[in-house]
Homo-oligomer: A and B are copies of this chain.
């Protein structure tokens, strides 16, 4: 149920419409918690229904701007401080590694060098993202930068691992 908390979190920075939030999901949150348009609108309606957010303004084209309520902020704080993160990490990438034995060694090595490449590209993309953002001093910038650093380190780690792993075969 973390899409809910992602929305509450974004609205804690500033009021926004479903469309605004969708754009944020497509850019900054895409690597951490992807969400589709249909999911976002549905969840916003639910959150408004339960009083955790409210419509604060209506604009052209039926635009509805939502803002966090006190209740929503309480829920957000509760999620951050009282609940432990524990989502199961399913890894498509790693699952395949378990079964590389059904392939010929050179095919297995090919898969791993593919991962090396994928990780290098991921690293580069994040570096470019970091350069393209003009970081100011608001909260999302400070913590967004910390999250991005995680992404950089993650890709670097995975690249080194994949290189090592390719060397382990046969």
Contacts and interface: CB of A to CB of B under 8 A. Distances in A.
B80 A102 contact: yes
Interface stretch (A40-48, A56-64, A82-90, A124-132): A82-90
A97 B31 contact: no
A111 interface: yes
Contact of A33 (B2, B12, B29, B91): B91
Contacts of A147: 94, 97-98
A23 interface: no
Interface string A72-104: 010011011100111111111111111111110
Contact of A88 (B34, B95, B149): B34
A101 B102 CA distance: 48
B103 A77 contact: yes
A69 B146 CA distance: 48
